[in-house]
Amino acid sequence: MKTDIQKPKVKTFRGPGKRKENTPQSGHAAHKWRNIRWGVLLFFNFLFFASFFFDIQVLEGSLSASRLFGFHLIDPLAAAQVLLANKNLLVNLVIGVVTIIIIYVALGGRTFCSWICPYHWLAELGEKIHLILKEKKIIKGHAFDRKIRYYFILIFVLLALITGYTVFETINPVAILSRFIVYGPSLMLLWVLAILLFEVFYSRRAWCRYFCPVGVSYQLIGYVTPLRIKWDPEKCSNCKRCQQVCLVPFVLTNTVNKGKALYVDSGACTRCGLCIDICDDQALSYGLKYLDKLI
């Protein structure tokens, strides 16, 4: 069956029966981007540990607020909480937030979630267990409303304003794991374990998909960044395997699913590369929207 694609220079994409399932095209590496991404994630988190333990002062602090060679980097949500809690606008706060925004405009918004966040790595491993249990019909998957994270932002911002304390940073698994890497274990690791077990036995990737407010600020940045997942409909067999592995499968709806766009335009895309790795057609790749015509 063929489906018309209403885009310039795009005719049709082939039906799912046009190629052998699980037969990679020449040059396709099944886990290329996952391995690169895990390497980058582990490297930067190790830098936090090494900078503290060996006192080399390269990347100091945690993922909430840090200094790279003495230059301030601050998570936007953490900065908003600090501002509201202290009711004082600090120069270093502004520098840190602006720097982070510039970095992630260049790299693609929620790349923080999949390329830097240590909890994402744990959740990715937990997801494998969840899928095995689900396949064996031991558990069932459950979904939540994606809008919940926006309510969480409002709640924690108000708590910072009212209490004068950055409440969310106490229970944020990203911050907890980052502090663990640098300063050692604490009882709050039990909270991280509880979230992970909830994902394994009840809801696949629940924290990252539905609850984590950290990714919202990076999601907003992701709407304007040129670095995106690019889709080539001429190669696509419409097998939908990319949506099966995607952390946020709805981001592929207007591309692979409906053929309305050649780039993933959703700011929720983490640029993790899982869809690229699994695409035997090599129909998905990293691309630069707005800039590709100039290069």
Q: Round the CA-based radius of gyration of the chain to a whole number and report it.
A: 20
Long-range pairs for 8-17: beta carbons < 8 A, 24 or more residues apart? 10/233, 10/234, 10/259, 10/262, 11/234, 12/233, 13/233, 13/234, 13/236, 13/237, 13/238, 13/259, 14/236, 14/237, 14/238, 15/237, 15/238, 16/237, 16/238, 16/239, 16/240
Number of domains composing the chain: 2
* Residue 78 domain flag: yes
Tell whether 23 and 83 lie within a shared domain: no
Report the predicted TM-score, pTM, of the whole model to 2 decimal places.
Answer: 0.84
Tell whether 183 and 60 lie within a shared domain: yes
Digit-coded pLDDT (tens) for 40-95? 999 999 999 999 999 988 999 999 999 999 889 999 999 999 999 998 888 999 99
Domain residues for the domain of 11 are 3-30+227-288
Tell whether 143 and 273 lie within a shared domain: no
Only one residue has tokens 């097998």, namely: 239
Tell whether 106 and 167 lie within a shared domain: yes
| Residue 217 · residue 77 · CB < 8 Å | yes
* Residue 86 domain flag: yes
Digit-coded pLDDT (tens) for 19-34? 444 444 555 677 899 9
Give bridge partners of residue 66 from the DSSP assignment: 61, 73
Query: Phi, psi at residue 72, to the nearest 5°?
Result: -75, 140
Tell whether 101 and 150 lie within a shared domain: yes
Residues of the chain whose pLDDT is less than 70? Answer: 1-28, 292-295
Chain centre to alpha carbon of residue 56: 29
